[in-house]
Amino acid sequence: MKYLILIQSNERSLAVWETLSDEQRMEFGRGHLQLTEEMTKAGVCVASEGLADPSLARWVSVRDGRTVASDGPFAEVKEHLAGFYLIDVEDSDEAISWAAKVPDAAFTQVEVRPVLDMSGWEF
């Protein structure tokens, strides 16, 4: 079963970030690298990335066959996706135990969402 662990950046997480010392921030970054390595070694990591600042985002739409890319309404966005871990594990309990190791979980919270798969049942 695949699960996506989503790390959101929002006012609350930014407020926490402000209170951290440089050393704590370094530790935080190392924590993410270590977790990725630990997931990889355990054979559960499918992909994990941190996302660049949302001010670099482009919003894409296609109308009448024409692709239009524009700067998004990022100024109003209070919450954005900051990073994710896509893992392949036995069940939701195992996904939760990995999510608990995400450094952000100790300060704010992370979201664990099951991924839709391509299986089906006999009916």
Partner 1 sequence: MRRFGDFDTCEDAVQEALLAAAQQWPVEGVPANPRGWLITVASRRRIELLRNETARRRREEAIRYEPEHAPASAVDDSLTLLLLCAHPALSTGSQVALTLRAVGGLSTAEIARGLLVPEATVGQRISRAKQKIRDSGATFSLPPPGEREARLTAVRQVLYLIFNEGYTASSGARLHRTELSAEAIRLTRLLRAQLPDDGEVAGLLALMLLTDARRPARTLPDGSLVPLAEQDRSRWDAAAIAEGVALITATLASAPIGPYQLQAAIAAVHDEAARPGDTDWPQILELYGMLHALAPGPMVQLNRIVALAEVHGPVLALARLDVAEDDPALRGHHRLAAVRAHLLEKCGDLTAAHAAYLEAARLTLSAPEQRYLLARAAALGSADDHRSS
Q: Is 35 in the site for partner 1 (CB under 8 A)?
A: no
Candidates 12-20, 28-36, 60-68, 108-116: pick the segment binding partner 1 (CB under 8 A).
Answer: 108-116
- For residues 71 to 100, the per-residue mask of contacts with partner 1, x marking binding by CB under 8 A and - elsewhere, is -----------------xxx----------
Q: Which residue lies nearer to partner 1 by CB, 69 or 116?
A: 116
46: contact with partner 1 by CB under 8 A? yes
Cβ-based burial of 104 (10 A; exposed 0-12, middle 13-18, buried ≥19):
buried
Query: By C-beta, is 41 or 63 nearer to partner 1?
Result: 41
* Long-range residue pairs from 105-110, CB within 8 A, at least 24 positions apart, any chain: 107/13, 107/16, 107/17, 108/8, 108/10, 108/12, 108/13, 108/16, 110/5, 110/6, 110/7, 110/8
123 lines the binding site for partner 1 (CB under 8 A): yes
* Interface with partner 1: number of residues (CB under 8 A): 23
